[in-house]
A and B are shown apart, each in its own frame.
Chain A
Amino acid sequence: MREFNPWYMALKHLDEVAEKINLDPNIHNILKKPKRILTVSIPIRMDDGRIEVFTGFRVQHNITRGPAKGGIRYHPQVTLDEIKALAMLMTWKCAVVGIPYGGAKGGIICDPKRLSSGEIERLTRRYISEIISIIGPEKDIPAPDINTNPQIMAWIMDTYSMDKGYSVPGVVTGKPISIGGSLGRNTATARGVMFALMNTIKKLNLNFSQQKIAIQGFGNVGGNLARILQKENCKIIAVSDIKGGIYNPKGLDCFKVSEALEKTGSVTGFNNGEQITNKELLSLNCDILVPAAIENQITKENADKVRAKIIIEAANAPITPEADKILNEKGIFIVPDILANAGGVTVSYFEWVQGLQSYFWTEREVNLKLRDIMEKAFENVWRISQERKVDMRMAAYILAVSRVAEATRIRGLYP
């Protein structure tokens, strides 16, 4: 069991912002509740002939600013409260970067490591057919999340298209390039994190190449980020994955680390560095710490050991609220998840736009447009944090909740 309930935490965040911006209590009431929750049972024929029944969810928190958008995760510890919280987080994330989406999230309680590829395909197709009435390019557009990948997105697109009788690439993002995926989607989240990091360095008047950076997590976000930053001549002194980390104060060659990961299955297979644990990585003597793994990594137990001056939240909710308080009191500059990792959903939006137009952009175009959106969002959040004398997290929430609240107010109440 988790030590806290993510849904109550999300509501608490909203309450705090509501107080700061004097949010109309009627609108606050609307935003407190997800627009729609669908729980489905998913019976699947397993490879051995048995039928197993899984449980899946799709939650749409808010669609005031546009269709709902959010990933689908396959994980044994998925709970409805977690999905509700993440759907709300998606509403705020899309509003912070100003893309015309609401928030949604989906999940299936399952352990994909114990399922065959055929079982995962049948699970995906049956799940999609169970939620098919509430998704669609103008309703709700799923995307990859924990343990879901481009192949699974292709099955989602195929299942939906078969039901309609024609191909509908706009129903899902994170698809393979061959069926309408966007160039640059794979590195989008990492690239967005890098823009957040560069803007931070610029605003704080620091020197880019002198920063010592530690990255927790070496998957799609952490790994791509490490390699992109190295190309920009940054000094990465530590990286880690689920098995542990490696540290070299002189800087790691992240391309060689990637090779070691491929050969040995872990970044710890890289031999030009000292072996450290994930916990040790968080308290390293570095300038910038990038948690890019999973939630709840910096807690009230280890927050006072953090020595970085800047934290960029590449993962969702890597810092607990108690830890956030401690870090802020220490004067650490934190770029919050809903801003820092919004590059992924931004390029998902580009993929959807390209799909609707059936006209595809070059990778350079995608990356430049992403940079433009990330820079504008950072600038807006920074300005609010300066004007209202609040931290970047509160500033991002103020921007996001105000935008959704204004859209709700101007649309009025139906009927």
Chain B
Amino acid sequence: MLKKIECFLNPSRLDRIKDELVKVGIEGMSVGEVKGFGRQRGYLEGEKINKAVKFLPKIKVEIVVDEGMVEKVIDTIKELCATKTIGAGKIFILPVEDAVRIRTAEVGKSAIY
């Protein structure tokens, strides 16, 4: 079964995450610049939090992998992004029902690998 790993991370770590994940064996990723806030309501560590919620710049990384690779990908991202301060990010793991490679019409795992 395929899983999608969707994470919201600090933009500064992107290049290292990409390089390390390729070493782990991922076959592709998509990245987007997004704005967002989490439990810290858009305030950085040490900043005084008032009523207004703010957006912070983040990157959204999406990777679809075989379920056997999920733990390795999560560990890699965790290791590279663990700042121990607020705003380090979140990782979500979603089930993927199916995938299709449009060029060849391959489906499932074959569409990814």
Given known contacts A198-B106, A232-B105, A368-B98, what 12 new A-B pairs fall within 8 Å (CB)?
Answer: A198-B110, A199-B110, A202-B110, A208-B104, A208-B105, A208-B106, A368-B97, A368-B108, A371-B107, A372-B1, A372-B108, A375-B109
CB under 8 Å from chain B, chain A span 354-381: 368, 371-372, 375
Q: Which of B87-113 contact A (CB under 8 A)?
A: 97-98, 104-110
Answer yes or no: A233 CB below 8 A from chain B CBs.
yes
* CB-CB nearest in chain B for A199: B110
User: Smallest distance from the beta carbon of A381 to chain B beta carbons, Å?
Assistant: 16
**Chain A, Cβ-Cβ closest to B2:** A372
B11 CB, nearest partner CB in chain A, Å: 36
Q: Using Cβ atoms and an 8 Å threshold, which residues of chain A touch B104?
A: 208-209
Choose among B98, B105, B108 the residue that contacts A233 (Cβ–Cβ < 8 A): B105
Q: Which residues of B contact A232 (CB under 8 A)?
A: 105
Q: List 9 A-B contacts (CB under 8 A).
A: A202-B106, A202-B110, A208-B105, A208-B106, A209-B104, A232-B105, A233-B105, A375-B108, A375-B109
Residues of chain B whose beta carbon lies under 8 Å from any beta carbon of chain A = 1, 97-98, 104-110
Which B residue sits closest to A372, measured CB to CB? B1
The secondary-structure label for the interface of chain A is helix
The B-contacting residues of A in range 182-226, CB under 8 angstroms, are: 198-199, 202, 208-209
Contacts of A208 in B (CB 8 A): 104-106
What are the residues of chain A within 8 A of B110 when measuring CB–CB? 198-199, 202
Residues on A with C-beta less than 8 A from B106 are: 198, 202, 208
Question: Which residue on chain B has the smallest CB distance to residue A375?
Answer: B109
Which chain A positions have C-beta within 8 A of B108? 368, 371-372, 375
Q: Top 4 A-B pairs ranked by shortest CB distance? A: A202-B110, A371-B108, A372-B1, A375-B109
- Closest CB in chain A relative to B68 CB, distance in Å: 10
Q: How far is the CA of A233 from the CA of B105 in the complex (A)?
A: 9
**Nearest CB on B from A362, distance (A):** 11
A381 CA / B107 CA spacing, docked (Å): 20
List of A residues within 8 angstroms of B107 by Cβ: 371
Distance in angstroms between the alpha carbons of A209 and B104 in the assembled complex:
8
- Please give me the residue from chain A that is nearest to B104 by CB atom: A208
B75 to chain A, nearest CB (A): 23
Smallest CB gap from A379: residue in B: B109
CA distance A368 to B98 in the complex (A): 8
Report the minimal beta-carbon distance from B40 to chain A, rounded to whole angstroms. 40
**B97 neighbours in A (Cβ, 8 Å):** 368
How many angstroms between the C-alpha atoms of A14 and B19 in the bound complex? 48
Please report the C-alpha to C-alpha distance between residue A233 and residue B110 in the assembled complex, in whole angstroms.
17
- Which residues on A sit within 8 Å (CB–CB) of B1? 372
Residues from chain A with Cβ under 8 Å of B105 in the complex: 208, 232-233
Complex Cα distance, B106 from A375, in Å, reads 13
Bound complex: CA A232 to CA B107 (Å): 11
Q: Tell me which residues across on chain B come within 8 A of A209, comparing CB atoms.
A: 104
- What is the distance, in angstroms, from B101's C-beta to the closest C-beta of chain A? 11
Q: How far is the CA of A209 from the CA of B97 in the complex (A)?
A: 24
Enumerate chain B residues within 8 angstroms of A371, measured Cβ to Cβ.
Answer: 107-108
- Closest CB-CB distance, A263 to chain B, in whole Å? 32
Task: Give min CB distance, B59 to chain A, whole Å.
Answer: 31
Give the distance to chain A from B95, nearest Cβ to Cβ, in Å.
11
